[in-house]
């Protein structure tokens, strides 16, 4: 009986501790959302169109840069993201979310870039409302309870010499990705999302085959900065996407550097923006 009483006491203490942790996370999410704007200002933005330019580089494959227009359109949980480049070089990255359905356009029939294939394979980046961070009206933290996702507080971490508050994002459905969200401690602004995945090497049929098998690492970062005010909402106007893939010593580093030059709300949108192809 004494053991049972101790067990019940410990269980009760754990429950209280978990409730306190959940309350702290809820408070932080509210601080973050208020850093974007008041509840009234956020609710008033039924849709958002962020327009600008994108510069693409393969950072470890020479200095060449491809440039083009970039547009992020969102309405509630719907989203369309377009990065367009000259047709003789890179073509287009086009991601669409219409509620829970997603689409990633191929660069040519049946073929996707490594980056596009990563987004297509891990479409929770789109369905959870993570893509584009607070630039999207469907931003994951604006409807965390509806998504039935969880945040786990990992405390303050050094990132490039700067203190940032890290939370791990746990989707309702299991994911191969480790998803980390980073915030400025002073402002509660979301400044980075990191997606991580490692694929272990498999044994080959022969010793030589096994030697050719390598552990593969995938890392995607979305970094946000240059915050400005639009219709009483504070939003980032710089969005840098870095995608690394491959073996440790042979990885390829892609970077998409987006500058938003215009952010508009409550526009008349063509429903075709969100059509699933």
Q: Which two tokens stand for residue 202?
A: 């498999």
At residue 109, the pLDDT reads 87
| Residues 192-209: tens digit of each pLDDT | 999 999 988 754 443 334
At residue 1, the pLDDT reads 56
At residue 3, the pLDDT reads 52
At residue 277, the pLDDT reads 72
Q: What is the mean pLDDT of residues 233-259?
A: 90
Q: Are 133 and 184 in contact (CB under 8 A)?
A: no
Q: Are 155 and 139 in contact (CB under 8 A)?
A: no
Q: Which two tokens stand for residue 34?
A: 């208020």
Contacts 24+ apart (CB under 8 A), 29-38: 29/141, 29/144, 29/151, 31/188, 32/141, 32/183, 32/188, 32/189, 32/190, 33/141, 33/142, 34/188, 35/187, 35/188, 35/189, 35/234, 36/134, 36/233, 36/234, 36/235, 37/232, 37/233, 37/234, 38/232
At residue 209, the pLDDT reads 44
pTM for the predicted model, two decimal places: 0.87
Q: Which two tokens stand for residue 232?
A: 């009483």
At residue 20, the pLDDT reads 56
Q: Which two tokens stand for residue 134?
A: 């607070």
Q: What is the mean pLDDT of residues 206-231?
A: 79
| Residues 75-120: tens digit of each pLDDT | 999 999 999 988 766 678 999 999 779 999 998 888 899 999 999 9
At residue 215, the pLDDT reads 87
Higher pLDDT, 79 or 146: 79
Distance separating the N- and C-terminal Cα atoms of the chain:
64
Share of the chain above pLDDT 90, in %: 69
Find how far residue 17's CA is from the centre of its chain: 29
Between CA 80 and CA 72 the distance in angstroms is 6
């Amino acid at each position: 009986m004494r053991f049972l009483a101790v067990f019940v006491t410990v269980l009760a203490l754990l429950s209280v501790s978990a409730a306190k942790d959940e309350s702290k996370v809820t408070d932080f999410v509210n601080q973050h959302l208020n850093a974007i704007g008041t509840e009234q200002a956020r609710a008033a933005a039924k849709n958002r169109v962020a327009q600008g330019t994108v510069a693409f580089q393969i950072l470890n494959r020479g200095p060449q840069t491809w440039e083009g227009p970039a547009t992020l359109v969102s309405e509630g949980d719907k989203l369309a993201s377009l990065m367009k480049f000259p047709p003789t070089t890179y073509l287009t990255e086009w991601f669409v979310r219409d509620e829970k359905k997603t689409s990633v356009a191929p660069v040519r029939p049946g073929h996707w870039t490594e980056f596009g294939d990563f987004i297509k394979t891990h479409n929770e980046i789109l369905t959870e409302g993570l893509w584009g961070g607070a630039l999207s009206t469907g931003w994951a933290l604006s409807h965390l309870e509806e998504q039935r996702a969880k945040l786990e507080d990992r405390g303050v971490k050094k990132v490039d010499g700067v203190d940032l508050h890290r939370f791990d994002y746990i989707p309702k459905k299991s994911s191969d990705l480790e998803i980390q969200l980073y915030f400025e401690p002073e402002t509660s602004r979301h400044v980075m999302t990191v997606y991580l995945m490692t694929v272990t090497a498999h044994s080959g049929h022969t010793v030589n085959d096994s030697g050719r098998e390598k552990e593969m690492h995938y890392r995607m970062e979305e970094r946000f900065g240059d915050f400005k005010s639009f219709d009483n909402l504070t939003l980032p106007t710089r969005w840098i996407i870095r995608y690394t893939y491959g073996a440790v010593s042979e990885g390829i580093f892609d970077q998409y550097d987006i500058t938003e030059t215009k952010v508009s709300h409550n526009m008349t949108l063509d429903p075709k923006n969100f059509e699933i192809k």
